[in-house]
Amino acid sequence: MTGLEILSKSIFSIQTSAEFEHAALALFSWHYKHNGIYRIFCNNTGKTPENVCSLQQIPCLPVNLLRFNKILPDGVSAELFFETSGTTAAETGRHYIVDPGLYLASAMNCFRNFYGSIEDYVVLALLPGYLERQHSSLVYMVDHWIKCSNKPESGFYLYDHEKLFSTLNSLQNKKQKTLLIGVTHALVDFSKKYSLGFPELIVMETGGMKGRRKELSRSELHAVLKKSFGVPAIHSEYGMTELLSQAYSKADGIFHCPPWMQILLRDVNDPLSPPQNKKSGAINIIDLANMYSCPFLATDDGGILHEDGSFEITGRIDFSVIRGCSTMI
């Protein structure tokens, strides 16, 4: 068993910041040795295993380098790829996946960490079906959730709002734990036609309004959805095609990471330096589950980092490409 295989078995049991840092530094050294593109990037930044000794010093690869290059360790092949939903073919990037089982293990452990056993839930999706978007990481994950929930009502309902409405009413009468997950504009479309009083329902939006509907602020959007579904709060998922883990918000857009994922901030104008105020800046992500491509990514998102490790997304950095989740459908 290789060092990465051993680490893949242990990351989901990480509990402390010291354990996280130890695993991250081990992964940094491994990728510097075995991942040619990442090694070139590190050399150009002057960061090597000889002078990197803390989490904050690990160089984070710009997400577009991973998105538009086949970044894999030397001699390693991918079993599948996830594809971003760009507005044109030229903007569509790929994330090559060596171990799909590791992605699903991360998704399942992450759900369990925040919500408990998936088998307790009916999972309803306002998303394209798996056969329509086989290379969407979100659809791949939710398709697995649906199968693992083992409930007859679980499924994709994007094109059948009337059936979804009937199913939700039935589930409420049964007092069944239910998750409704969807891209934002699909949830808004449903909310314009139907209203419920289902306070126990988990409504989870995954983003996606740009170019599809009038832009709403988070508070405006959540107010619309809370009123329509009759729920006290709207949950949110923060994930990316280029990651293998997700962060979740249970209210007000305050996201929390699983123990094997961590958010750091960088200065918007200096990608190798932390922001001066230490609280807001551009978001870097260390995702230990992403161990076979690159666990260290500099995203195009701006954010606020709180002392407990939770964070908020404040928007896209001006020079970034609009995330494609809004054009998934």
For residue range 197-246, what is the model confidence (pLDDT) as tens digits?
Answer: 999 999 999 986 555 556 778 889 999 999 999 999 999 999 999 999 99
Q: Dihedral of CA 24/319/223/181: which sign?
A: negative
The values of phi and psi at residue 274, to 5°, are: -70, 155
How many Cα atoms occupy the beta-carbon half-sphere of 70 within 13 Å? 9
Q: How many CA atoms lie within 13 A of 249 on its CB side?
A: 21
82 forms beta bridges with: 95
Q: What residue spans of 150-259 are helical by DSSP H? A: 161-174, 184-193, 218-229
DSSP-based three-state secondary structure for 203:
strand
What residues form DSSP beta bridges with 237? 248
Residue 57 backbone zone (phi > 0: left; psi -120 to 50: alpha; other: beta): alpha
Question: What pLDDT score does 214 carry?
Answer: 64
CA 241, chain centre distance (Å): 7
Return d(Cα 225, Cα 220) in angstroms, integer.
Answer: 9
CA dihedral 70, 73, 76, 81 (to 10 degrees): -40
- Please count the CA atoms within 13 angstroms of the CA of 292 that sit on its side-chain side: 21
How far apart, in whole angstroms, are the C-alpha atoms of residue 112 and residue 108?
Answer: 6
Q: Which residues does the chain have with pLDDT short of 70?
A: 1-3, 6, 86-91, 129-131, 208-214, 318-329
Which residue's structure tokens are 């939903």? 85
DSSP H or E run through 241: none
In the prediction, which pLDDT does 222 show? 94
Q: Is residue 5 classed exposed, middle or buried when 0-12, 13-18 and 19+ CB atoms within 10 A define those classes?
A: exposed
pLDDT reported for residue 323: 46
> Which pLDDT belongs to residue 4?
72
Note the pLDDT of residue 325.
40
pLDDT for the residue 130: 59
**What is the reported pTM?**
0.90
Q: Check: CB of residue 265 under 8 Å from CB of residue 301.
A: no
Please name the residue ranges forming H helices in the chain: 3-10, 17-34, 36-45, 63-67, 100-115, 137-149, 161-174, 184-193, 218-229
